[in-house]
Amino acid sequence: MNEFKLPDVGEGLTEAELVTWLVSVGDTVKVNDIVCEIETAKSVVELPSPYAGVVSALLVPEGETVPVGTPIIRIGDSVAAPDGEPAEASSGVSTDSATADADVEAEEQPLTLVGPGPKEMAVTRRPRRVPTGAVAAHMQTQAAFEPGLPAPRVEAEVEAEPQTEPQTEPQTEVAAAQADLSAVAVLAKPPVRKLAKDLGVDLRTITPTREDGVITREQVERAAASAIEEGAPVVEEGRQARLETTDGGGFETVASATSSTTVGAASTTGGDARETREPIRGVRKMMGQAMVDSAFTLPHVSIWKTVDVTATVALVERLKARREFSGVRVSPLLVVAKACLLALRRTPIVNSVWDDAAQEIVFKHYVNLGIAAATPRGLVVPNVKDTQELSLVDLAAALGELTATARDGKTPPADLAGGTFTITNVGPFGMEAGTPIINPGESAILCLGAIEKRPWVVDDQVVPREVCTLALSFDHRHIDGAAGSRFLADVASVLEDPATALLF
């Protein structure tokens, strides 16, 4: 029997929250099969199994935060039963006493000193008792949901008792078992289970429509929408419901509620709570601490520049039509990123960092470009390594992959460390600009505002143009106003006239 202990997935983390189990007791897993998702202080990480065998126990419930080194799952050897079926595993979260529940009889065998000989402790199972009453009804219900599959094993076996009352009709027993939601097995794939958990939908309340009895993603979404329309709570105790939309930049924005709030309708009855509390942990806890440390240890200075980006918008449309960018997302953010890389060559101090302990300025001869992303679990800043070496096509592909990973909440810790310069895009939210806080470990951050049509003076004529505002925050200990202004002016010149990039 092997116990898988919670590992340190990087950066010296001390604890993590177990978000979702992707396996159940009795499942057979192979080495490197994903068994669960955990949320560290930086991201959500999938954990592969280091062992192969049958899952005999899940030692940590979902939603619990445990220290690194805590056993989280127990995996036994995969042994075939005499009839050719896989050995059955006990159910439940903890199973130290699971072996005591099995009815086995040991038969003594003669001691063999040479050769393989018979097994030292051969076991035989007692015949199973025939389940009756509610247990039988549950098995009928589960068989209806799982056509063609063998009846499930019933852990609690019920001995037949003399019937003193008229026997209930089988259909009535099945209906009663269906009404008992806790007794009905639910069939759904792990991504669908996670979606249901995120939206606060109880899978046991959904009647499968497919022939195989598997609940689909569409059914979960319809159930969530129905709950919102009815003004009913769609979350369970201690869980968070997340209503996710995708902004124009490819990242997700989130509105969240907890178990005491009603999604889609305000509380009006006296018995409903008017306040909710959500534990500060995981990514959100790390984000809050990082922003406090940065805001109160770095002297921030912010400068602004409003730019006519009509030429950049036209360039984006031409790039989309080129076959090199087929299947790759092209947006103004791509041109802004390239403009920043070119500007950093001319003003390298913006890509440096103040080392207070060593009393040195560390110049970085590489650019790990970070993109601030709003995810369901809080703000993260994943970065693309060595972007100074990427072509425009490669940069577009890298940003697209970074966006997709951040949207799924699967950014690995390695992609969150080592950034040197960050871009935050508030344009998709309709914001003109802002004064962003510098990401810890860096010295500057550029805020890209919304691109909107505005009246603009061109050759003494007022004409409509595509305009946006750029805001640069930087560490004023070693980046003076002149350096910051030169950098922002270079970025603006490329956005105003992309052909200017040939001069860099």
Give the active site residues.
Answer: 476
What residues have CB less than 8 Å from 213, skipping those under 6 apart? 144, 145, 146, 147, 187
Which residue stretches of 156-249 are H helix?
A: 170-179, 190-199, 217-230
Q: What is the C-alpha separation between 2 and 24, in angstroms, rounded?
A: 16
**DSSP sequence for 94-160:** --TTGGGGS-EEEE------SSS-S-TTEEEEPPPPPP-HHHHHHHHHHHHHSTTSPPPP-SS----
Distance in angstroms (rounded) separating the CA atoms of residues 328 and 423: 20
User: Do the strands 2-5 and 421-425 form a parallel or antiparallel pair, or are they unpaired?
Assistant: unpaired
Helix (H) / strand (E) containing 202: none
Q: Is 317 helix (H, G, I), strand (E, B) or coil?
A: helix
Is residue 61 within a helix (H) or strand (E), and if so which, with residue range?
none
Closest CA to 196 of 219, 169, 178, 214: 219
By the 8 A CB rule, do 18 and 36 touch? Answer: yes
Beta bridge partners of residue 337, listed in sequence order: none
The pair of three-digit structure tokens given for residue 168, joined into one six-digit string: 């209930």
Nearest Cα to 24, choosing from 53, 58, 51?
58
Main-chain phi, psi angles of 191, to 5 degrees: -60, -35
Place of tokens 């003669």: 110
Phi-psi sector, 197: left (phi>0), alpha (psi -120 to 50), beta: alpha
Return the structure tokens found at 322: 């080129």
Q: Give the pair of three-digit tokens for residue 262.
A: 């009603």
* Residue whose C-alpha is closest to residue 40's, from 74, 19, 17: 17
Q: How far apart are CA 103 and CA 9, in angstroms?
A: 41
Locate 210 and state its tokens.
């497919």
